[in-house]
Amino acid sequence: MKNQDLVDYLKYCSVCQFCQLRYLKARGNEYQNKQEYFDRVNVDYEEEIDWTGDPANKKKRQNVCPTCLGLFSEEFKEQLLQSIENTDIDKYECDGIVVAISIPIVLQLRQLSMWYALLDKFGDNINLDRAPDVSLKEAIKLILNPTICERLNKSYDISNGLMLTINLSHSEEQEGVSQLEKLNSLVYPRKKGQKSEQISRSLIEKKYTPLRVSSELFKNAFVVPPSIPTESLKFDSVSLIGPSTYVAGRYRKLSRKLSHTPWVLNGERVMDDSIEEIIIRNIAHYFCDDQKKVNFMSSGREDVDVRCLGAGRPFVLEIPNAFRSSLSSALAREMEENIDVSQKVSVRDIQIVKREELIHIKMGEEQKRKCYRALCQIGNIVTVDILKRLDFQNGFEIQQKTPIRVLHRRPLHTRPRTVYSLKPSVCRQNKNLIILDIVTQAGTYIKELVHGEFGRTVPSVASLIGQHIDIIALDVVEIDLDWPPSVCTL
């Protein structure tokens, strides 16, 4: 089969020049210079009339290509670029894009029809199991994607680009699909009790080749070669989805009346606000429109009545469909100041981090050390003997049962935990008060470590001093996680 014969036949079927190149198996940037490629494969080149931009030329308009339904025509490209520009793409601050074009099934059926036609025309030269053309999917990548990138002045970035999803439709779609359903029930009759198969793109890809489906059966259902269509493809929709952006920082919890996440009991809020809501409310709107989709993660959490001081607790917001992927230090500062207004939470080191860094938040919970300061009260005066009994420079092990107060959300276990050090001091103003500086393994329940919870934590501060002890106030003073890095704002 000579290339010239193939192209002559494709021309006879009114196939466009880009599709001719597909059937000549052009690759890579060979689509960018058609004439050069035709010369190279010894095919006469005739320039196609570009009628676009000149309405008077409309009459000279070429027919819609029967194998791509106009997908690669100049007119279509122009429409495509315009519909992309009509979206709010300018809102997205990103250098890269990804393009996903969803094509109607009728387009696949037309490729198939041409395959059977070429088989009739060129016989053995055509493979029965491998398509004779460069697939439309591949050709879109080679022809349309570079055009879109060039026009938008963006690079193609699969991992972090703005996703453009383009849905196309065609007036013949419904008829084509119902014809295929009929054909499918003949070629692959369903067994008793089996559900009828959904017609899909992958079904055609997997089960429809001239090797599997006879030419005769196919021709009963579809025209071979594909007819000249009356209409080209239409745009259904162009939608944009921005990449996910991750915003990290460290928060300090300054209130003893603030829950970590929204606290709702029997459908009613117990507290008006939460750390999660304060942080999301002040950061998310700089990055996205839908705050409900933002995910708040932190390295552990405090109880409602516990403050978190010192350098604060690391957190990350996962913001899907973000239109911003960078952050100036001035804007970060603005967010931090807005959060300060709440007077309940204070945030520092706001910065954009990479997805890979989320591992810092997720792992290591068990290994990390936590530093607390607890204000405790006993019934008697604090003596030197009591202080001595609570002085553990080198730490000790405890066995801790899951506290009753969290049993509704955590399974019952007895877990060993390490108290790395315990250091007591007296409070000058009140002789019944002890201040305890405690360093423990993450996951230790501090309140129970102090009062012992009726022997569910052994030993406990109460058992060590042999008397009842109350915890009045608790602060987290340091979290042993050196992430995210501190941001210097001078």
| Residues marked as catalytic | 303
**Distance set, CA 190 to CA 186, 252, 392, 480 (Å):** 9, 63, 75, 62
Minimal distance in Å, beta carbon 19 to Zn ion? 3
Considering the rule CB under 5 A, would residue 140 count as an interface residue with Zn ion?
no
Stretch that binds Zn ion, among 14-22, 179-187, 267-275, 282-290 (CB under 5 A): 14-22
Q: How far is residue 47's CA from residue 396's CA, in Å, rounded to a whole number?
A: 86
Contact residue for Zn ion among 16, 84, 117, 134 (CB under 5 A): 16
Minimal distance in Å, beta carbon 358 to Zn ion? 45
Q: How far is residue 213's CA from residue 129's CA, in Å, rounded to a whole number?
A: 10
Nearer to Zn ion, 68 or 84 (CB): 68
| Residue 14, φ and ψ in degrees, nearest 5 | 70, 30
Considering the rule CB under 5 A, would residue 168 count as an interface residue with Zn ion?
no
Minimal distance in Å, beta carbon 135 to Zn ion? 13
DSSP-derived pairing of the beta strands 369-378 and 433-441: antiparallel
Nearer to Zn ion, 65 or 316 (CB): 65
User: According to CB under 5 A, which residues from 350 to 369 bind Zn ion?
Assistant: none
The answer to whether 451 and 460 are in contact (CB under 8 A) is yes
Stretch that binds Zn ion, among 16-24, 94-102, 152-160, 353-361 (CB under 5 A): 16-24
Minimal distance in Å, beta carbon 20 to Zn ion? 8
Give, for 115, the enclosing helix (H) or strand (E).
Answer: helix 105-122
Nearer to Zn ion, 72 or 315 (CB): 72
Q: How far is residue 145's CA from residue 155's CA, in Å, rounded to a whole number?
A: 10
User: According to CB under 5 A, which residues from 434 to 473 bind Zn ion?
Assistant: none
Nearer to Zn ion, 68 or 114 (CB): 68
Give, for 175, the enclosing helix (H) or strand (E).
Answer: helix 173-187
94: CB partners within 8 A, 6+ apart = 154, 160, 161, 162, 242, 243, 323, 325
Amino acid identity, residue 313?
A: R
Site string for Zn ion, 42-81 (x = CB under 5 A): -----------------------x--x-------------
The residue assigned the tokens 């559900």 is 195
Nearer to Zn ion, 62 or 463 (CB): 62
Which residues would be at the binding site for Zn ion (CB under 5 A)? Answer: 16, 19, 65, 68
